[in-house]
Amino acid sequence: MKMVFRWFGEGNDSVSLQHIRQIPGVEGIVWALHDIPAGEEWPMDRILEVKKQADAYGLHIDVVESVNVHEDIKLGRPTRDAYIENYKRTIEKLAKVGVKVICYNFMPVFDWTRTNLYKELEDGSTALFYEHEKVQNIDPLELVKMITDNPKFTMPGWEPERLKELASLFEAYQHVTEEDLWNHLQYFLENIIPVAEANGIKMAIHPDDPPWSIFGLPRIITNRENIRRFLNLVDSPYNGITLCSGSLGVNLRNDIPAMIREFADRIPFAHIRNVKVYENGNFVETSHRTCDGSIDIYEIVKAYHETGFTGYARPDHGRHIWDEQCRPGYGLYDRALGIMYLWGIWDSLERRRKEERL
Protein backbone atom coordinates (compact mmCIF):
# COMPACT_ATOMS: atom_id res chain seq x y z
CA MET A 1 0.00 0.00 0.00
CA LYS A 2 1.40 3.36 -1.06
CA MET A 3 0.06 6.16 1.17
CA VAL A 4 -0.73 9.55 -0.38
CA PHE A 5 -2.39 12.73 0.85
CA ARG A 6 -4.66 15.14 -0.96
CA TRP A 7 -3.30 18.64 -1.53
CA PHE A 8 -5.23 21.50 -3.12
CA GLY A 9 -2.24 23.67 -4.02
CA GLU A 10 -0.37 26.61 -2.60
CA GLY A 11 -2.74 29.35 -1.50
CA ASN A 12 -5.77 27.05 -1.84
CA ASP A 13 -5.28 24.91 1.24
CA SER A 14 -4.46 25.27 4.93
CA VAL A 15 -2.29 22.17 4.55
CA SER A 16 1.25 22.71 3.28
CA LEU A 17 3.61 20.31 1.58
CA GLN A 18 5.83 20.60 4.65
CA HIS A 19 2.92 19.34 6.77
CA ILE A 20 2.34 16.41 4.42
CA ARG A 21 6.02 15.50 4.38
CA GLN A 22 5.96 15.08 8.16
CA ILE A 23 3.14 12.49 8.21
CA PRO A 24 4.75 9.05 8.60
CA GLY A 25 4.53 6.82 5.57
CA VAL A 26 3.18 9.40 3.12
CA GLU A 27 5.02 9.19 -0.20
CA GLY A 28 3.18 11.62 -2.44
CA ILE A 29 0.36 14.04 -3.02
CA VAL A 30 -3.01 13.65 -4.71
CA TRP A 31 -3.48 16.80 -6.74
CA ALA A 32 -5.24 18.56 -9.60
CA LEU A 33 -5.38 21.88 -11.40
CA HIS A 34 -8.63 22.83 -9.72
CA ASP A 35 -9.02 26.15 -11.49
CA ILE A 36 -9.03 24.61 -14.98
CA PRO A 37 -12.67 24.23 -16.09
CA ALA A 38 -13.89 20.74 -16.96
CA GLY A 39 -13.28 19.97 -20.60
CA GLU A 40 -10.24 22.19 -21.07
CA GLU A 41 -6.80 20.80 -21.82
CA TRP A 42 -4.37 21.21 -18.93
CA PRO A 43 -1.38 23.46 -19.73
CA MET A 44 2.03 21.80 -19.44
CA ASP A 45 3.63 24.69 -17.60
CA ARG A 46 1.07 24.40 -14.78
CA ILE A 47 1.62 20.65 -14.54
CA LEU A 48 5.38 21.14 -14.33
CA GLU A 49 4.88 23.77 -11.64
CA VAL A 50 3.13 21.26 -9.38
CA LYS A 51 5.83 18.67 -10.02
CA LYS A 52 8.53 21.17 -9.07
CA GLN A 53 6.71 22.07 -5.85
CA ALA A 54 6.31 18.42 -4.85
CA ASP A 55 9.87 17.48 -5.81
CA ALA A 56 11.18 20.12 -3.42
CA TYR A 57 9.71 18.12 -0.53
CA GLY A 58 10.53 14.66 -1.84
CA LEU A 59 6.91 13.88 -2.68
CA HIS A 60 5.71 12.26 -5.91
CA ILE A 61 2.70 13.37 -7.98
CA ASP A 62 1.64 9.90 -9.17
CA VAL A 63 -2.08 10.38 -8.49
CA VAL A 64 -4.32 13.09 -9.97
CA GLU A 65 -7.79 13.73 -8.53
CA SER A 66 -9.55 14.76 -10.62
CA VAL A 67 -9.45 15.44 -14.35
CA ASN A 68 -13.12 16.34 -14.46
CA VAL A 69 -15.39 15.12 -17.25
CA HIS A 70 -17.35 17.80 -19.10
CA GLU A 71 -21.15 17.61 -18.81
CA ASP A 72 -21.49 17.41 -22.61
CA ILE A 73 -19.73 14.03 -22.46
CA LYS A 74 -22.12 12.78 -19.77
CA LEU A 75 -25.08 14.11 -21.75
CA GLY A 76 -23.85 12.54 -25.00
CA ARG A 77 -23.98 15.81 -26.92
CA PRO A 78 -22.30 16.18 -30.36
CA THR A 79 -19.76 18.54 -28.77
CA ARG A 80 -18.39 15.73 -26.59
CA ASP A 81 -15.73 14.65 -29.08
CA ALA A 82 -13.84 17.94 -28.77
CA TYR A 83 -13.80 17.63 -24.98
CA ILE A 84 -12.67 14.01 -25.21
CA GLU A 85 -9.75 15.08 -27.43
CA ASN A 86 -8.74 17.62 -24.77
CA TYR A 87 -8.93 14.84 -22.18
CA LYS A 88 -6.66 12.62 -24.27
CA ARG A 89 -4.04 15.37 -24.61
CA THR A 90 -4.17 15.97 -20.87
CA ILE A 91 -3.54 12.27 -20.24
CA GLU A 92 -0.50 12.39 -22.54
CA LYS A 93 0.91 15.42 -20.71
CA LEU A 94 0.38 13.90 -17.27
CA ALA A 95 2.20 10.74 -18.36
CA LYS A 96 5.27 12.83 -19.20
CA VAL A 97 5.66 13.87 -15.55
CA GLY A 98 5.16 10.37 -14.18
CA VAL A 99 1.46 10.31 -13.28
CA LYS A 100 0.26 6.72 -12.82
CA VAL A 101 -3.42 7.11 -11.84
CA ILE A 102 -6.19 9.54 -12.78
CA CYS A 103 -9.26 9.58 -10.54
CA TYR A 104 -12.45 10.98 -12.08
CA ASN A 105 -16.20 10.57 -11.73
CA PHE A 106 -19.23 10.38 -14.00
CA MET A 107 -21.81 11.94 -11.66
CA PRO A 108 -24.21 14.32 -13.38
CA VAL A 109 -23.89 17.95 -12.22
CA PHE A 110 -22.49 17.31 -8.69
CA ASP A 111 -19.32 15.54 -7.55
CA TRP A 112 -20.76 15.08 -4.06
CA THR A 113 -23.67 16.33 -1.99
CA ARG A 114 -24.04 17.16 1.70
CA THR A 115 -26.53 19.32 3.61
CA ASN A 116 -24.18 20.58 6.36
CA LEU A 117 -20.49 21.40 6.04
CA TYR A 118 -19.90 21.66 9.79
CA LYS A 119 -22.26 19.42 11.77
CA GLU A 120 -21.20 19.45 15.43
CA LEU A 121 -20.56 16.03 16.97
CA GLU A 122 -20.82 15.01 20.62
CA ASP A 123 -17.14 15.68 21.29
CA GLY A 124 -17.33 19.23 19.90
CA SER A 125 -15.62 18.43 16.60
CA THR A 126 -17.49 19.05 13.35
CA ALA A 127 -17.90 17.02 10.16
CA LEU A 128 -19.72 16.82 6.85
CA PHE A 129 -23.36 15.74 7.29
CA TYR A 130 -26.10 14.50 4.96
CA GLU A 131 -29.79 14.83 5.85
CA HIS A 132 -31.48 12.24 3.67
CA GLU A 133 -35.06 13.49 3.85
CA LYS A 134 -34.06 17.07 3.05
CA VAL A 135 -32.47 15.99 -0.24
CA GLN A 136 -34.98 13.31 -1.24
CA ASN A 137 -37.98 15.58 -0.70
CA ILE A 138 -36.77 18.21 -3.17
CA ASP A 139 -38.64 17.86 -6.45
CA PRO A 140 -36.26 18.42 -9.41
CA LEU A 141 -38.66 20.81 -11.16
CA GLU A 142 -39.14 22.78 -7.96
CA LEU A 143 -35.37 22.89 -7.54
CA VAL A 144 -34.95 24.37 -11.01
CA LYS A 145 -37.49 27.05 -10.10
CA MET A 146 -35.71 27.75 -6.82
CA ILE A 147 -32.40 28.20 -8.61
CA THR A 148 -33.95 30.40 -11.31
CA ASP A 149 -35.84 32.60 -8.84
CA ASN A 150 -32.98 32.83 -6.35
CA PRO A 151 -29.51 32.80 -7.95
CA LYS A 152 -27.94 32.76 -4.46
CA PHE A 153 -29.63 29.46 -3.52
CA THR A 154 -26.96 26.85 -2.83
CA MET A 155 -26.13 23.63 -0.99
CA PRO A 156 -22.82 22.12 0.14
CA GLY A 157 -20.95 20.62 -2.80
CA TRP A 158 -22.34 23.13 -5.29
CA GLU A 159 -19.60 25.13 -6.96
CA PRO A 160 -20.55 28.85 -6.80
CA GLU A 161 -19.16 29.58 -10.26
CA ARG A 162 -21.49 26.96 -11.77
CA LEU A 163 -24.71 28.07 -10.08
CA LYS A 164 -25.85 29.98 -13.16
CA GLU A 165 -25.63 26.75 -15.18
CA LEU A 166 -27.58 24.55 -12.78
CA ALA A 167 -31.08 25.31 -14.01
CA SER A 168 -30.18 24.52 -17.63
CA LEU A 169 -28.27 21.39 -16.60
CA PHE A 170 -31.21 20.05 -14.59
CA GLU A 171 -33.44 20.60 -17.60
CA ALA A 172 -30.94 18.85 -19.88
CA TYR A 173 -30.84 15.78 -17.63
CA GLN A 174 -34.62 15.43 -17.32
CA HIS A 175 -34.70 13.03 -20.26
CA VAL A 176 -31.41 11.21 -19.56
CA THR A 177 -31.99 7.73 -18.15
CA GLU A 178 -29.53 5.49 -16.35
CA GLU A 179 -29.13 3.46 -19.56
CA ASP A 180 -28.34 6.65 -21.46
CA LEU A 181 -25.67 7.48 -18.90
CA TRP A 182 -24.20 3.98 -19.20
CA ASN A 183 -24.01 4.41 -22.99
CA HIS A 184 -22.35 7.80 -22.69
CA LEU A 185 -19.84 6.42 -20.18
CA GLN A 186 -19.01 3.52 -22.49
CA TYR A 187 -18.40 5.92 -25.38
CA PHE A 188 -16.04 7.95 -23.17
CA LEU A 189 -14.15 4.85 -22.02
CA GLU A 190 -13.79 3.40 -25.52
CA ASN A 191 -12.08 6.63 -26.56
CA ILE A 192 -10.03 7.25 -23.42
CA ILE A 193 -8.75 3.87 -22.25
CA PRO A 194 -6.57 3.11 -25.32
CA VAL A 195 -4.78 6.45 -24.76
CA ALA A 196 -4.41 5.76 -21.03
CA GLU A 197 -3.03 2.30 -21.77
CA ALA A 198 -0.54 3.64 -24.31
CA ASN A 199 0.70 6.12 -21.72
CA GLY A 200 0.80 3.80 -18.72
CA ILE A 201 -1.91 5.60 -16.75
CA LYS A 202 -4.71 3.78 -14.96
CA MET A 203 -8.10 5.48 -15.04
CA ALA A 204 -9.97 5.04 -11.75
CA ILE A 205 -13.62 6.07 -11.60
CA HIS A 206 -14.93 7.30 -8.24
CA PRO A 207 -18.26 5.91 -7.01
CA ASP A 208 -21.27 8.20 -6.79
CA ASP A 209 -21.50 10.13 -3.53
CA PRO A 210 -24.01 9.31 -2.15
CA PRO A 211 -24.62 6.13 -4.17
CA TRP A 212 -28.24 6.76 -5.15
CA SER A 213 -30.18 9.17 -7.32
CA ILE A 214 -30.52 12.72 -5.99
CA PHE A 215 -32.68 15.51 -7.41
CA GLY A 216 -33.91 13.08 -10.05
CA LEU A 217 -30.44 12.76 -11.61
CA PRO A 218 -29.31 9.32 -12.80
CA ARG A 219 -26.43 7.69 -10.92
CA ILE A 220 -24.83 4.39 -11.88
CA ILE A 221 -21.57 3.71 -9.98
CA THR A 222 -23.41 2.74 -6.84
CA ASN A 223 -22.97 -0.94 -5.91
CA ARG A 224 -21.10 -4.18 -6.56
CA GLU A 225 -23.24 -5.24 -9.52
CA ASN A 226 -22.84 -1.88 -11.25
CA ILE A 227 -19.09 -1.79 -10.64
CA ARG A 228 -18.88 -5.24 -12.24
CA ARG A 229 -20.82 -3.93 -15.23
CA PHE A 230 -18.60 -0.85 -15.43
CA LEU A 231 -15.38 -2.86 -15.49
CA ASN A 232 -16.77 -4.99 -18.32
CA LEU A 233 -17.60 -1.96 -20.49
CA VAL A 234 -13.93 -1.86 -21.45
CA ASP A 235 -12.17 -4.91 -20.03
CA SER A 236 -8.70 -3.51 -19.52
CA PRO A 237 -6.40 -3.27 -16.47
CA TYR A 238 -6.26 0.45 -17.25
CA ASN A 239 -10.00 0.79 -16.67
CA GLY A 240 -10.34 0.63 -12.90
CA ILE A 241 -12.06 2.12 -9.88
CA THR A 242 -11.23 4.39 -6.99
CA LEU A 243 -12.83 2.28 -4.29
CA CYS A 244 -14.19 4.78 -1.76
CA SER A 245 -15.37 3.13 1.44
CA GLY A 246 -17.21 6.25 2.53
CA SER A 247 -19.18 6.84 -0.67
CA LEU A 248 -20.24 3.22 -1.13
CA GLY A 249 -20.48 2.54 2.59
CA VAL A 250 -23.38 4.88 3.32
CA ASN A 251 -25.52 2.22 1.68
CA LEU A 252 -25.15 -0.46 4.36
CA ARG A 253 -26.05 -3.17 1.85
CA ASN A 254 -22.73 -2.57 0.11
CA ASP A 255 -20.16 -5.11 1.34
CA ILE A 256 -16.91 -3.17 0.90
CA PRO A 257 -14.46 -5.98 1.88
CA ALA A 258 -16.18 -8.31 -0.59
CA MET A 259 -15.83 -5.68 -3.33
CA ILE A 260 -12.12 -5.31 -2.56
CA ARG A 261 -11.59 -9.05 -2.85
CA GLU A 262 -13.55 -9.32 -6.10
CA PHE A 263 -12.11 -6.28 -7.85
CA ALA A 264 -8.60 -6.34 -6.32
CA ASP A 265 -6.75 -6.25 -9.64
CA ARG A 266 -8.82 -3.28 -10.84
CA ILE A 267 -8.36 -0.96 -7.83
CA PRO A 268 -5.37 1.31 -8.46
CA PHE A 269 -6.55 3.86 -5.88
CA ALA A 270 -8.36 3.57 -2.55
CA HIS A 271 -10.19 6.16 -0.47
CA ILE A 272 -10.56 4.96 3.11
CA ARG A 273 -12.92 6.77 5.46
CA ASN A 274 -15.68 6.04 7.93
CA VAL A 275 -19.24 7.33 8.28
CA LYS A 276 -21.98 6.83 10.83
CA VAL A 277 -25.28 5.94 9.15
CA TYR A 278 -28.55 6.48 11.01
CA GLU A 279 -31.80 4.52 10.62
CA ASN A 280 -33.48 7.43 8.82
CA GLY A 281 -30.79 7.47 6.12
CA ASN A 282 -28.86 10.44 7.49
CA PHE A 283 -25.10 10.05 7.78
CA VAL A 284 -22.18 11.98 9.22
CA GLU A 285 -18.48 11.52 8.64
CA THR A 286 -16.49 10.32 11.63
CA SER A 287 -12.96 9.48 12.64
CA HIS A 288 -11.44 6.51 10.84
CA ARG A 289 -11.80 4.22 13.88
CA THR A 290 -14.13 1.30 13.25
CA CYS A 291 -15.97 1.82 16.55
CA ASP A 292 -16.82 5.44 15.67
CA GLY A 293 -18.80 4.70 12.52
CA SER A 294 -20.87 2.15 10.63
CA ILE A 295 -18.06 0.89 8.41
CA ASP A 296 -15.61 -1.79 9.56
CA ILE A 297 -12.33 -0.12 8.61
CA TYR A 298 -10.35 -3.01 10.10
CA GLU A 299 -12.00 -5.50 7.72
CA ILE A 300 -11.45 -3.13 4.80
CA VAL A 301 -7.72 -2.78 5.48
CA LYS A 302 -7.54 -6.54 6.08
CA ALA A 303 -9.09 -7.18 2.65
CA TYR A 304 -6.51 -4.93 1.00
CA HIS A 305 -3.72 -6.67 2.89
CA GLU A 306 -4.92 -10.18 2.05
CA THR A 307 -5.21 -9.36 -1.66
CA GLY A 308 -1.68 -7.95 -1.77
CA PHE A 309 -2.77 -4.40 -2.52
CA THR A 310 0.13 -2.33 -3.87
CA GLY A 311 -1.90 0.60 -5.17
CA TYR A 312 -2.28 4.08 -3.77
CA ALA A 313 -4.45 4.87 -0.75
CA ARG A 314 -5.37 8.03 1.06
CA PRO A 315 -7.34 8.84 4.16
CA ASP A 316 -10.41 10.44 2.71
CA HIS A 317 -12.46 13.04 4.55
CA GLY A 318 -11.88 13.73 8.21
CA ARG A 319 -13.46 15.72 11.01
CA HIS A 320 -12.47 19.27 11.88
CA ILE A 321 -10.74 19.03 15.27
CA TRP A 322 -8.65 21.16 17.63
CA ASP A 323 -10.21 24.40 16.31
CA GLU A 324 -8.61 23.91 12.90
CA GLN A 325 -9.85 26.27 10.19
CA CYS A 326 -9.83 24.26 7.00
CA ARG A 327 -11.56 23.19 3.82
CA PRO A 328 -14.66 21.14 4.80
CA GLY A 329 -13.67 17.50 5.22
CA TYR A 330 -9.99 18.18 4.57
CA GLY A 331 -8.40 19.14 7.85
CA LEU A 332 -4.79 18.14 8.42
CA TYR A 333 -5.14 16.77 11.93
CA ASP A 334 -7.89 14.19 11.65
CA ARG A 335 -6.67 12.85 8.33
CA ALA A 336 -3.15 12.49 9.75
CA LEU A 337 -4.63 10.63 12.73
CA GLY A 338 -6.52 8.48 10.23
CA ILE A 339 -3.30 7.55 8.46
CA MET A 340 -1.75 6.36 11.70
CA TYR A 341 -4.84 4.25 12.43
CA LEU A 342 -4.62 2.69 8.96
CA TRP A 343 -0.91 2.03 9.34
CA GLY A 344 -1.54 0.52 12.77
CA ILE A 345 -3.93 -2.01 11.27
CA TRP A 346 -1.63 -2.70 8.33
CA ASP A 347 1.46 -3.15 10.52
CA SER A 348 -0.37 -5.53 12.86
CA LEU A 349 -1.45 -7.63 9.86
CA GLU A 350 2.13 -7.65 8.58
CA ARG A 351 3.38 -8.77 12.00
CA ARG A 352 0.80 -11.55 12.12
CA ARG A 353 1.77 -12.77 8.65
CA LYS A 354 5.45 -12.93 9.61
CA GLU A 355 4.68 -14.80 12.82
CA GLU A 356 2.56 -17.34 10.91
CA ARG A 357 5.51 -18.04 8.59
CA LEU A 358 7.83 -18.86 11.48
Provide the residue range defining the domain that includes 29: 2-109+176-273+296-316+324-357
Q: Does residue 123 belong to any structural domain of this protein? A: no
Query: Quick check: is 238 catalytic?
Result: no
Evaluate whether residue 166 is within a structural domain.
no
From the candidates 317, 333, 334, 341, give the one annotated as an active-site residue: 317
- Give the whole-angstrom CA distance, residue 181 versus residue 251: 21
For this structure, is 330 an active site residue? yes
Q: Is 271 a catalytic residue?
A: yes
Q: Is residue 128 part of a domain?
A: no
> Does the annotation count 296 as an active-site position?
no
Is 223 contained in some domain?
A: yes
The CATH number of the domain where 269 resides is what? 3.20.20.150
| Strands lying side by side in the sheet with 275-277 | 116-120, 126-130, 283-285, 275-277
The ranges of the chain with pLDDT < 50 are none
- Cis preceding linkage at 348, omega within 30: no
Q: What is the pLDDT of residue 171?
A: 84
Number of domains in the chain: 1
Distance CA 296, CA 291 (A): 8
Active-site hit among 60, 132, 184, 271:
271
Catalytic residue (choose from 206, 288, 305, 320):
206
Q: Mean pLDDT for the chain?
A: 93
Question: The pTM is what?
Answer: 0.94
Catalytic residue among 173, 244, 305, 334: 244
Distance from C-alpha of 122 to C-alpha of 325, rounded to nearest angstrom: 19
Q: How many CB atoms lie within 10 A of CB 124?
A: 9
Domain assignment present for residue 99? The answer is yes
Q: Is residue 156 in some structural domain?
A: no
Candidates 330, 333, 334, 341; catalytic one: 330
Whether the CB-CB separation of 291 and 333 falls below 8 Å is answered with: no
pLDDT of residue 151: 62
pLDDT, residue 158, reads 59
284 lies in some domain: no
Residue 86 belongs to a domain: yes
Candidates 72, 209, 316, 334; catalytic one: 316
pLDDT at 152: 63
Residues 286-297 pLDDT 10s: 999 999 999 999
